């Protein structure tokens, strides 16, 4: 498995998990409870319960990183991976200019940074570490 395959697999798993939890925005109450907010108004509706945590800061953190945001992040990261692959394709076609090589190296550095949060995964390779 190369770095692109590794990232695509992790992103697919992140998307799968986020989709399983999506459907409504999450909001936090000062008491430390996270609720589903189908109206998206920012006030806990009481219609759905996600989690109860120690304090309001934890609840706000959980609500801020709800499944909708996770799906947006997956989409953005996929675009970065796609951009890397397009640049690699250009180099494979023989268009190896100094600028193209430098751009490819920069894209590879970005991919390595994107993979870093998955360093705990058993398929992560240490040579990918930035």
Retrieve residue 118's tokens: 């998955």
The set of residues, in sequence order, having a beta carbon less than 8 Å from that of 1 and lying 6+ positions away, is 9, 123
Provide the β-strand partners of residue 33: 52
Q: Please give the model's pTM, rounded to 2 decimal places.
A: 0.82
pLDDT value for 5: 97
- CA gap 108, 100 in Å, rounded: 12
High-pLDDT (> 70) share of the chain, %: 92
* Cα dihedral value 95, 99, 100, 102, nearest 10: 140
Question: C-alpha distances in angstroms, 6 versus 3, 15, 44, 128?
Answer: 5, 14, 38, 10
How confident is the model at residue 40, as a pLDDT? 57
Percent of the chain with pLDDT over 90: 48
Q: What is the pLDDT of residues 6-49, one digit of tens each?
A: 999 999 999 999 998 877 788 888 888 888 876 655 554 445 76
pLDDT at 25: 82
Residue carrying the six token digits 């959980």: 62
Structure tokens at 46: 């009481």
Q: pLDDT tens for residues 115-129?
A: 999 999 999 999 999
How far, in Å, CA of 75 to CA of 73, rounded?
5
Boundaries of every domain in the chain: 1-22+67-130, 23-65
CA separation for the pair 72, 31 (Å, rounded): 28
- What was the pLDDT predicted at 43? 53
């Amino acid at each position: 498995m190369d770095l692109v395959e590794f990232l695509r697999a992790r992103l697919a798993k992140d998307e799968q998990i986020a989709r399983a939890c999506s459907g409504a925005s999450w909001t936090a109450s000062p008491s430390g409870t996270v609720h589903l907010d189908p109206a998206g108004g920012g006030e806990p509706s009481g219609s759905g319960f996600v989690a109860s945590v120690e304090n309001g800061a934890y609840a706000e953190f959980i609500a801020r990183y709800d499944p909708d945001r996770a799906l947006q992040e997956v989409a953005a990261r996929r675009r970065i991976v796609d951009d890397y692959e397009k640049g690699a394709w250009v180099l494979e076609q023989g268009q190896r200019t100094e600028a193209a090589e430098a751009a490819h190296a920069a894209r590879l550095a970005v991919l390595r940074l994107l993979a870093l949060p998955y360093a705990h995964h058993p398929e992560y390779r240490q040579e990918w570490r930035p």
